[in-house]
Amino acid sequence: MLLLGESGSGKSTLLSLICGTILPSAGQVHVAGTDIATLSGGKRDRFRAEQIGVIFQQFNLLPFGTVTDNILLPLRFAPERRKRAGDAKVTALALCTSLGLPDDVVSAKASSLSVGQQQRVAVARALIGQPPLIIADEPTSALDATSQTAFLELLFQQIADSASSLLMVSHDPRLGDRFDRVVRMEDIARIERAAA
Amino acid sequence: MILRLAIASLLARALTVGMTILAIALSVALFLGVEKVRTGAKASFADTISGTDLIVGARSGSVQLLLYSVFRIGNATNNVTWESYLDIAARPDVDWIVPISLGDSHRQFRVMGTTQGFFEHYRYRQGRPLEMSDGVVMDDLFDTVIGADVAKTLGYSVGDPIIVAHGLASFTEHKDQPFRVSGILEKTGTPVDRTVIVSMQAIEAIHVDWQSGAQIPGQSTPVEAIRQMDLEPKAVTAALVGVKSPLQTFALQRAINEYPEEPLLAILPGVALQELWGIVGIAETALLAVSVMVVVTALIGMMATIFSSLNERRREMAIFRAMGARPEVILGLLVLEAVLMAAVGTLLGLALLYVGLTIAQPIVDAAFGLWVPIDTPSMREILTLLAVIGASALVSLVPALRAYRISLADGMMVRT
């Protein structure tokens, strides 16, 4: 699903609501059938770790950690995802390979990678342990046009392989025809206003 | 993994982290160094005199008697008559007795009249005897043995002549009877270093033509004539006493204190030294307080470093949060970093201390006669180091709680 909206239209706030790092002042947020507002803070964080893989616009990685450290980080907070990942290091390496990253990159420091490589590591991190939902917040905005296309190809392919759902946020309507569903922030806002 | 990331994060900020660790290391080294010097000074002080069971003098105060007889500070209010001295010496429980006669000086150093027994029985630093670095113990009436500081300050060597001045700050000199340096003592770190030692008879000899503290005008007995005279002392300033059995010490002390012929005072050197340290010890506490403040300053410096790093690390915290880390993990991470810094800092400080001690030990011993022992850290020191690490965890809670609140408010999205 693609969520389209201009900057300042509330996309990031919506993502934070879905991830449970902020709570709605009214109403309910259901993620994978769970009303996350009813969970305690700690449970919400655990829920996020287990259910959601997150890809930011840029600066996705801990610059001082190795690529492996970065990919394995979410498993540290999600025991069930860790179980699903099997031998986490092997899985991480396999993900890197299928994302077109050279083998020796896994032991490199994240800060030594190019932006494109960093974004692919971020995808590997989001995908490891197959969380049902992947949230990507304008993951291509730091890439040039050619890299964007290549990156999206890889992303879609991997999502298809792991049977996860993708919720991607963008301000670029041209991406729309590649998604099953496209939702515009204006439409959500209109529904909201109509309900009020 | 969290530990490895914390270490990697610290390494990525090597410069500021290194400075913080260095500050902690230096403060810890300073603190432990002060502690070492403090205990060393206390031990050195207590080691000024050992092997002596009682010090006997005219009745005054125990600290005063200790000050003038051992430290050569201040003056005796009265002397002990030679008869009383012989009486005590003749007691069956007395193993040995060494008389001390003070009152004259050479330049800024005190002159002490005593017997050969002083060199045999005086002990310092847990029973170490006096040793000659050059020459021999005085043999002739006008021979003198000088302490290491006297020789160094005045540039004397064996065979040099010395003229003793009457009194302590006096221009009247015993010119007619010059002495000759027969020996120089090894450095001891005790007041002996600053003493000119002559025989009891020599003290009598230089005062032959004196009466009531002044030279009899026109009278000067030739040295040859003095040598023929009976130079039995009339009085001593104090006496060091050794008993045959330690059990007799208190009985002898009581007997001397109740001596009917003359008001006398016998003190146990160890007890009097402790009383004296009780007075000197206030400076010791102040020194300790200052070095504690230095450690506290270093820890506050670390807190400031963590605080200033928080803003540039908001992205890092957001990543942790997005991965499902609870805000408590962020808090724990910062405390862990602080504990790591403090642990490395204290270990480095400990290493610095031992390097410093190894270099400084001979210098300090030679310059101040202060023996600072190098040994494995005591339980007390280890506890101190653990306390520093614990305090660092406590101090880091302040920025860590702020990080907790920031990460709770920021969530995954960094608002700048």
| pLDDT tens, position by position, B95-146 | 999 999 998 888 888 999 999 999 999 988 778 899 998 888 888 888 999 9
| Chain B neighbors of A74, CB-CB under 8 A | 323-324
Closest CA to B49 of B122, B132, B157: B122
The reply to whether B262 and B151 lie within a common domain is yes
Residue B296 lies in a domain: yes
Give the residue from chain B lying closest to A41, CA to CA.
B326
Contact at 8 Å (CB) between B406 and B318?
Answer: no
ipTM above 0.90, yes or no: no
Residue B17 lies in a domain: yes
The reply to whether B9 and B66 lie within a common domain is no
Q: What is the mean pLDDT of each run of 10 residues along chain A (196 residues)?
A: 80 83 80 81 86 82 87 87 85 85 84 85 88 86 80 85 86 82 80 62
Residue that finishes a domain, picked among B209, B243, B267: B267
The reply to whether B257 and B383 lie within a common domain is no
pLDDT at B416: 47
| Chain B neighbors of A49, CB-CB under 8 A | 323-325
Contact state of B4 with A69 under an 8 Å Cβ cutoff = yes
The reply to whether B241 and B208 lie within a common domain is yes
Cα distance from N-terminal residue to C-terminal residue, chain A: 26
Give the residue from chain B lying closest to A46, CA to CA.
B324
Q: Does B7 touch chain A (CB under 8 A)?
A: no
Which of A77, A80, A127 to probe the B interface (max B CBs under 10 A)?
A: A77
Q: Does B319 touch chain A (CB under 8 A)?
A: yes
The reply to whether B371 and B258 lie within a common domain is no
Average pLDDT score over residue span B258-274? 91
The reply to whether B99 and B222 lie within a common domain is yes
Average pLDDT score over residue span B20-24? 93
Contact at 8 Å (CB) between A85 and A91?
Answer: yes
Could you say which of B5, B319, B412 has the minimum Cβ distance to residue A19? Answer: B412
Q: Is the pLDDT of residue B304 over 60?
A: yes
The CA distance from A136 to A123, in Å, is 9
Average pLDDT score over residue span B58-63? 89
CB atoms within 10 A of CB B43: 15
The reply to whether B223 and B328 lie within a common domain is no
Q: What would the pLDDT profile of B153-169 be if each residue is shown by its tens digit?
A: 889 999 888 888 776 66
Whether domain A2-195 has CATH 3.40.50.300: the reply is yes
| pLDDT band for position B213 (cuts 50, 70, 90) | low
How many distinct structural domains can be found in chain B? 2
3-state SS record for chain B:
CHHHHHHHHHHHCHHHHHHHHHHHHHHHHHHHHHHHHHHHHHHHHHCCCECCCEEEEECCCHHHHHHHHCCCCCCCCCCEEHHHHHHHHCCCCEEEEEEEEEEEEECCEEEEEECCHHHHHCEECCCEECCEEEECCCCCCCEEEECHHHHHHHCCCCCCEECCECCCCCCCECCCCCEEEEEEECCCCCHHHHEEEEEHHHHHHHCCCEECCEECCCCCCCHHHHHHCCCCCCEECEEEEEECCHHHHHHHHHHHHCCCCCCEEEECHHHHHHHHHHHHHHHHHHHHHHHHHHHHHHHHHHHHHHHHHHHHHHHHHHHHHHCCCCHHHHHHHHHHHHHHHHHHHHHHHHHHHHHHHHHHHHHHHHHHCCCCCCCCCCHHHHHHHHHHHHHHHHHHHHHHHHHHHHHHHHCCCCCC
Sequence length of chain B is 416
The reply to whether B137 and B163 lie within a common domain is yes
Query: What are A's interface residues with B at a Cβ cutoff of 8 A?
Result: 12, 15-16, 19, 21-22, 41-42, 45-46, 48-50, 54, 56, 59-66, 69, 72-74, 76-78, 111, 125
Residue where the block lists tokens 């969530």: B411
The reply to whether B144 and B234 lie within a common domain is yes
Give the residue from chain A lying closest to B329, CA to CA.
A77
Query: How near does any CA of chain B get to the CA of A96, in Å?
Result: 19
Query: How near does any CA of chain B get to the CA of A31, in Å?
Result: 15
pLDDT at B47: 80
The reply to whether B307 and B226 lie within a common domain is no
Contact state of B411 with A16 under an 8 Å Cβ cutoff = yes
Average pLDDT score over residue span B280-287? 82
Residue B275 lies in a domain: no
- 3-state DSSP call for residue A55? strand
Q: Which domain holds residue B255?
A: 54-267
The CA distance from B129 to B50, in Å, is 10
Please give the DSSP secondary-structure letter assigned to residue A147.
Answer: H
The reply to whether B41 and B174 lie within a common domain is no
Contact at 8 Å (CB) between B384 and B378?
Answer: no
Contact state of A59 with B315 under an 8 Å Cβ cutoff = yes
Could you say which of B2, B316, B322 has the minimum Cβ distance to residue A76? Answer: B2
Q: Is the pLDDT of residue B38 over 70?
A: yes
Contact state of B8 with A65 under an 8 Å Cβ cutoff = yes
Mean pLDDT of chain B: 87
Helix (H) or strand (E) holding A151: helix A145-162
Which of B13, B319, B415 to probe the A interface (max A CBs under 10 A)?
A: B319
Closest CA to B305 of B398, B390, B414, B242: B398
Residue that finishes a domain, picked among B212, B245, B267: B267
Relative orientation angle of helices A115-127 and A145-162, to the nearest 10 degrees = 10
Which of B320, B323, B336 to probe the A interface (max A CBs under 10 A)?
A: B323
pTM, rounded to two decimals: 0.73
Residue that finishes a domain, picked among B242, B267, B292: B267
For chains A and B, CB pairs below 8 A equal 80
The reply to whether B220 and B287 lie within a common domain is no
Q: What would the pLDDT profile of B170-201 be if each residue is shown by its tens digit?
A: 566 776 678 899 999 998 888 898 899 999 98
Give the residue from chain B lying closest to A49, CA to CA.
B324
The CA distance from B147 to B131, in Å, is 10
Q: Does B322 touch chain A (CB under 8 A)?
A: yes
pLDDT at B7: 87
